[in-house]
Amino acid sequence: MYKILMVCHGNICRSPMAEFVLRDMLKKRGIDGVEVASAATSTEEIGNGVHHGTKAILHSLGIDCSFKRARQMTKADYREYDLLLGADSRNIINMNRIAGGDSEGKIKRLLNFTIRPRDISDPWYTGDFDTTYADVKEGCEALLDWLYQQGIIS
């Protein structure tokens, strides 16, 4: 089982969107053997559900996220997951702090897999969940291509 952890600041907007979009892509392609979860770098939203803006986007795609509750990334997650993908550069700094470094090169930004590496737009500040979804979708599609190229999925 190949395990991927999506990470953002609060685990209520970008990382759960990435988690559920990637899960949906894997399911629709009939790909087994990949587990996807998400977490936060902060403690601010622990236990809270997915933000209504993310929930609305996912609902429009027929994806249920009602059971998701925010949790914080732990040092143990670094050992448990094969890839830990941050939404932005600040997340990467905090993920490295939580993990105690990245000796195995597992911590990356999701959009680094695209031809246009950048941070995922943060709808907490912009209110623009459509742009965030476009970023997440682009990143997840590029990640799937990379997983195929690496022979992790077929």
Whether 122 is catalytic: yes
- The whole-angstrom separation of Cα 89 and Cα 9 is 11
Residue 8 is a catalytic residue? yes
**Active site (annotated) includes residue 14:** yes
Q: Could you please report the per-residue DSSP string of the chain?
A: -EEEEEEESSSSSHHHHHHHHHHHHHHHTT--SEEEEEEESSSTTTT----HHHHHHHHHTT---TT----B--HHHHHH-SEEEESSHHHHHHHHHHHT--TTS-EEEGGGGSSS--PPP-HHHH--HHHHHHHHHHHHHHHHHHHHHTTS--
Instruction: Determine the straight-line distance between the first and last CA of the chain, rounded to whole angstroms.
Output: 13
> Of these residues, 8, 13, 65, 140, which one is catalytic?
8
**Catalytic pick from 77, 88, 122, 135?**
122
The residues carrying an active-site annotation are 8, 14, 122
